Chains A and B, each alone.
Chain A
Amino acid sequence: MKHIKLILFICLSLCLTQAIVAQTATDPPAETAPAVQPPAPPGNVILKDLPNDEGHGILVRWDLSPDDGAGRNTVISYDIYRALSPSAPDSLWMNVGTVVLGTKRYSDKSVEKDAPDFLPKKTDLYYRVVAVGAGVRSTPASAGPVQAYDNWFNSMKMPELIFCIVFLILTVRFINMAKRGIDLYVRPLAGIEAIDEAIGRATEMGKPILYVLGIGTAGDIATIASFTVLGRVARKVAEYQTSMIVPCCDPVVMTIAQEIVKTGYADAGRPDTFKEDSVYYVTSQQFPYVAAVNGTILREKPATNIYLGYFAAESLLLAETGVLAGSIQIAGTDQVSQLPFFVVACDYTLLGEELYAASAYLGREPLLLGTLKAQDYLKAIVLVLMVALLALRVITGADVISKPFDAPWW
C-alpha cells in the first residue's frame, strides 16, 4: 500500500517535472532544426548501482556518440533520462542530468524523499541517454532495469580501515609486551616533566594551579586529551594539598571536568577537600571567557597556568596575562595556527601530538606507553615509505606516484 502511494507520488511528480521540461524544451524557436541532422545516438549504455552510497544512486555509463568530437561533430551534450518502466510514455521520462560532450558517465543520485527527482531504493529503473546537438536530439539509447541498493562498505575508505587495523594490532602487541614487563623506553619531554614540577612549586608558594581546557566542546578530541591529563593533574594536586581552579567554556566540558577532578581527589584519598566551585562554568563565548580567565589570573596569581586543549585567538591573550602574573606556563594544543603564540609566550609548549602523549607520560602506566610505541611505529612506517620512494626515484629514474592513497587502486 505504502509503495503504491510512493509510486503514484513519483509518477505524479515525474509528470509535473516532465511537463515543465517539455514546455521549456519547446519554447525556443525551431527554425535552426532542419539545417542540422540529429547526431547518432550514444552506444552501449551500462547501468550499475552507484557504489559506496546509501542506496539512492545509479551509475550510468555509455559509449560516446560517433558524432561526438568525430564524425559530423555535432554533439554538444548528453541528456540522461530515468523512468520506472521501459514502455513509459515520453512524458514520464525524467531528465535527471545533463553532461557536456566527451563525458561517458553520470552518477544519478538523489537522496531526499521530497525531491522531485528522488531515486527510490530497490526499484526497477530504466535509463535513456540522448545525444543533444544544436536544436537536434539523437534517438535515445536505452538500458535497464537496474536497482539501487544500500552499500555496506565504502571501499573509498579502505586506507582508513587498513590503518585502523594496523594501529590496533600494533597497540595490542605493545600492550602485551608491556604487560609481560618488557621496559618500553620513552624519551623525556620537558613540557610534561614541568607539569610535575609545577604542582610542587604551587604547593611551596601556597598558590593555586589554573587549568584551562580551552574553548573546545566535549566533541573535540583535544578536549578529551586534556581531560585525561586533568585527571592526573587533579590527583597530584589533591595529594600535594594544593588548590586548583578550572574555569570552563562549555557546560558539558564543565560537567565532565567536575567529575574528573572530583574522582581525582577521591583517588588521592581526599574526597573531602574537593570543592565543587573550583570547577565552574563561565560562559560559552570565546572572549568573555578570556576576559574572566584573565581577571582570575591577575587576581589569584596562580603559581602555574596549564592550557591544554583547543585554542583560538585567545592563546596569546591568556599567555601574556600569565606572564604579567609571573606564573609558570605550560601550554599544549593541536591547533597549528596557535602554536606560535604559545611557543613565544609560554615556558613550555606541547606541540600537537605531544598533547595526546601527555597523559601516558604522566601516568607512566605500561598500557598507555604501549600506544605511544604504536604511534612511533606508524611514524616509522611513513618514514620508511618516504625513503623507499626516494630510493625508487634514484634507481628507476621515474618520478613519484603522486597521492598514492587517493586513487582506488585496491
Chain B
Amino acid sequence: MTSKTAMRILMAIVALIFLFSWIIKSGSGVSDSTFTNVRDGFLITFAVFLTLSIFSFLYHDNPFYKFAESLYVGISAGYWMCYGFWSTVVGNFVPRASRSLSEFFHVPYQERADHILIYIPIIFGLILLTRLLPRIGWLSRWSLAFIIGTTAGLNLTRYLRSDFISQVSNSFIPLFVDWKGAGDFINHISLAADGQFIAILSNWVIFVGVMCGLVYFFFSKEHKGTFGVASRIGIWILMITFGASFGYTVMGRISLLVGRITFLFGDWLNIL
C-alpha cells in the first residue's frame, strides 16, 4: 500500500515537472507561431521524460520504463512496417507486378519479359501464410525450406574466401623479416615500432597465435600434453584480444552517455 502511494506521489511530481517544463519551454520557443512553440516545448519535454524513464531502468524496473519501452516498441514496429511497405512492396514489388498498381503508387512500371517469375515468390509467400490455417499449416514448411535451403547454399561457398581461404592465406607471413643472419639481428635489436625485432616478434605472435587458436578449437582431441599447452596459449591470445577489445570499447560507450547528458543539461536545462 505504501509503495503504491509513494508511486502515486512520484507520478504526480513527474507530471508537475512535466507541465512546468512544457510551459517554460513553450515560452522560450523561438518560432513566431504559438502552435509550433507549444508543440516543440511538448516534444522536448517528452523526449527528456523518455530519456529519464529509460535511465530509471538502472535503478530497477518501473512503470516509467515500461511505458517508454512499450511506446518505443510500438513506434518501432509501426515504423518498420511502413518502411517495409514503401521500400519493398512499393519500391521493389509493385513496379514488376502490375501496371495499374504502379500507376496508383506513382512508380515507374518495369516492363520485363521475365516478370512472370515474380509469381514464384508470391506462391511461396502465400504458402507461408497457410500457417494461419491450422489444417494445412504444415504447407508453410515448403517456403521455410526454400529460405533455409537458399541460405545454406549461399553460405556453403560464399564465405569460404573471406572467412577461411583468405585467413589461412594471410597467415603465411614472413617469419624472419629482412633476415641477414643472427649477428646482424642482435646488433640492430631495438624496440622501435617499425624495427626488425618488433616486425619479427609480431609475425611470430600471429603465426603461433593462429596455430594455438586453431588447436583450441579442436573438438575431437583431449587438451592434454603438448596439445594442452598449445590450446592454453590459444586461450591466452583470445583473452588478450577480448580484454583489449573490451577496454577499447569503453570510450565509445561513455561518449554515448555524454551525448545524452549533454542533451539533458544543454538542450533541456540550458546550463551548458
Contacts and interface: CB of A to CB of B under 8 A. Distances in A.
A and B in direct contact, judged by CB atoms within 8 A: yes
Interface of A: 157, 159-160, 163-164, 184-187, 189, 218-221, 224, 227, 252, 255-256, 258-259, 282-285, 287-289, 291-292, 294-295, 298-299, 337, 339-341, 343-344, 351-354, 357, 372-373, 375-376, 379-380, 382-383, 385-387, 389-390, 393, 399-406
Contacts, number: 163
Interface stretch (B28-36, B186-194, B237-245): B237-245
Nearest to B177: A399
11 contacts: A252-B147, A256-B144, A282-B73, A292-B73, A298-B61, A337-B245, A344-B246, A379-B218, A383-B211, A403-B169, A405-B165
Interface stretch (B3-11, B90-98, B151-159): B151-159
B115 interface: no
A396 B69 CA distance: 66
B179 A187 contact: no
Interface in B52-67: 54, 57, 60-61, 65-66
Contact of B174 (A164, A376, A386, A402): A402
Contact of B69 (A224, A295, A339): A295
B220 A163 contact: no
B156 A340 contact: no
Contacts of A399: 174-177, 179
Contact of B147 (A256, A299, A382): A256
A354 B217 contact: yes
Given A160-B157, A337-B245, A401-B172, A376 B220 contact: yes
Nearest to B247: A340
Given A224-B151, A383-B215, A344 B242 contact: yes
A224 B151 CA distance: 8
Contacts of B176: 393, 399
Contacts of A353: 217
Contacts of B160: 159-160, 163-164
B148 interface: yes
Contacts of B141: 259
Given A344-B242, A386-B210, A255 B77 contact: no
A225 to B, nearest CB: 10
Nearest to A380: B218
Given A218-B151, A221-B151, A256-B144, A379 B73 contact: no
Nearest to B144: A256
B170 A288 contact: no
Contact of B61 (A295, A376, A380): A295
Given A285-B80, A382-B168, A402-B172, A187 B219 contact: yes
Interface string B42-83: 000000000000100100110001101100110111011000
Contacts of A389: 172
Contacts of A282: 73, 77
Nearest to A324: B60
B128 interface: yes
Contacts of B166: 405-406
Contacts of B174: 399-400, 402
B148 A256 contact: yes
Contacts of A351: 217, 238
B173 interface: yes
A224 B246 contact: no
B169 A187 contact: no
Nearest to B164: A163
B188 to A, nearest CB: 18
B261 interface: no
B73 A400 contact: no
A259 B144 contact: yes
Contacts of B99: none
B207 interface: yes
B246 A160 contact: no
B140 interface: yes
B135 interface: no
Contacts of A221: 151-152, 155, 159
Contacts of B61: 295, 298-299
A343 B217 contact: no
Contacts of A379: 214, 217-218
B72 A352 contact: no
A404 B173 contact: no
Contact of B156 (A164, A189, A295, A386): A164
Contacts of A385: 168
Given A295-B61, A400-B172, A402-B174, A163 B219 contact: no
